[in-house]
Amino acid sequence: MFFEQNDTYLYISSRLRGTIKGMVAKNAGLPATPADLINVDEVIGKYYDLVPDPSIAEQRVIFGTSGHRGSSLKTSFNEAHIVAIAQAIAEYRAKAGVTGPLYLGRDTHALSEPATRTAIEVLVANGVRVRIDSRDDVVPTPVVSQAILTHNRAADGSQRFTGNDIADGIVVTPSHNPPTDGGFKYDPPTGGPAPAEATNAIAARANELLGSYKSVKRTPYEQAIASDLVERFDYREHYVDDLSNVIDFDVIRSSGVRLGIDPLGGASVNYWPLMNEKYGLSIDVVRPQVDPTWSFMTIDHDGKIRMDPSSPYAMKGLVDSLNNGAWKKYDLVGGTDPDADRHGIVCPDWGVMNPNHYIAVCVEYLFGGNRPGWPENAGIGKTLVSSSLIDRVATSIGARLVEVPVGFKWFVDPLFSGEVAFGGEESSGMSFLRKDGRVWTTDKDGLIPDLLAAEITARTGKNPAQLHQDQVSRFGESWYRRIDTPTTLEQKQKFAHLTGDDVTATRLAGEEITAKLTTAPGNGAAIGGIKVTTANNWFAARPSGTENIYKVYAESFVSPDALDKVLDEATDVVDKALEG
């Protein structure tokens, strides 16, 4: 039951679209086979051997919603890219007056270590102080954000973004993307994803350098790593020590809640044992394997290995083992992806929770009197493709809703200002304020949602899935789905030109259309696509910022059949727009 009811991410072949909807790969949810695994030596070898051609769009530097991503095998993530991007970042931070250390983290993807070495060579050659892990270990994305923000905190507790010794950072990660991929993202002094003006400038300069990357000055790695510019920093100790300011460990410890964690072979793997040691918890790392081929995974919805802790396909191997007797060891299980900026929640008799459902549970708990130190009028931040269940919960507790476009960067400033105390998105990313109302991280943190699930269970006596069922009884059941369809760069660009006039229909799934949005209600920013709403249904369509796919999100509070009708009509709208 759990597998079907949480089926959220569906892949539709462009060849089959319109005749067979909702198809998934035949091997989705099955264990990875040798044929599914990457050749690590080949992936790393191509990083050095293949040189991108700047005249080919797919081989240029492209910053999506969270940095540049690509594959060495496709000549979209290679040494030349990292040399050019690292040089562009060094120049950008110098112009911005960022003179402090650059906090550098990486995940467990095969390309992350060679890309980190390349970046260090370029950064040191530019005179940048680089802080790497004191144990030479991997470092999660939120840990880099937290390190930047605590470094940039003034004596009075306020955040500094300019002035002497201001820090910024880089995380080398493609997040949950397949093992073939690499990623490289810049965090400015605000600690979160860089805004468009920064990423556009960095990408433009990197592409200027790409064709002549060999002329960029580099310090040989062995010389660079031994220089005074490379500083050792205990990321793990620093982050875990600070966690008590955002999570109530006393209630977790006193309740005896048993939390299992699956790091999915990622950068959080060594953080959980230290939490046990410091806070006297009962956290067990369910699968501690770190394997750059991710041979222990089950296949995701589209036939690829993808380390998404919110996907029932990717998590099916874990859930099967729990249902086959391992549940006797745990009250609930959490997961994180390779850079630990995404979370997944697994509950007994339920399976993997839909991220939308967990967000709704979190906001009702957090804003329902369990964070008395938060700013009184702080709102709930959500992306406009997240479930309307969150809207209904917000209304019921009298909390203000701030709806923004897709991308966690839209929560950075609101978290600092206290406009929102919580930011969450349907793709299982969230962060929220410290207990005293100050900012925790401005990037997604996959560790604290797993810990919050234990806190919620400890304080309420119900796990998040049970609390979701309580919400359904009060606010109604909804059916939500996201469909991913392959597309081209040219087609993706057409989404930016969509307007409400492209939707000529006046009704959606039998209900009167109430809004046709191309900007987000919470901040007026362009959504890069369109959202159409009725009283009980909606859909949104937008291109992915990191992959050549477009996404159609839809939800109905009416019925599964109504959801299918919404998707049918949404597909027609998108097809006409792309053909125009």
Active centre residues (catalytic): 175
Dihedrals phi, psi of 494, to nearest 5 degrees: -70, -25
Q: Hey, is 357 helix, strand or coil?
A: helix
Whether residue 557 contacts residue 566, with contact meaning beta carbons closer than 8 Å, is answered with: no
Whether residue 513 contacts residue 38, with contact meaning beta carbons closer than 8 Å, is answered with: no
Whether residue 239 contacts residue 138, with contact meaning beta carbons closer than 8 Å, is answered with: no
Smallest CA-to-CA distance from 129 within 233, 207, 215, 46 is with 233
CA–CA dist 390, 383 (Å, integer): 10
Smallest CA-to-CA distance from 87 within 166, 2, 170 is with 170
Spell out the residues 6+ positions from residue 57 whose beta carbon is closer than 8 angstroms to its own.
Answer: 489
Strands 379-383 and 401-404: parallel
Name the helix (H) or strand (E) containing 342.
Answer: none
CA–CA dist 544, 210 (Å, integer): 24
Q: Hey, is 105 helix, strand or coil?
A: strand
Whether residue 577 contacts residue 502, with contact meaning beta carbons closer than 8 Å, is answered with: yes
CA–CA dist 486, 544 (Å, integer): 10
Across 377-514, the runs of DSSP E, i.e. the strands, are: 379-383, 401-404, 420-425, 429-432, 479-486, 507-508, 511-512
Give the neighbor-by-neighbor strand order of the sheet with 379-383: 401-404, 379-383, 420-425, 429-432
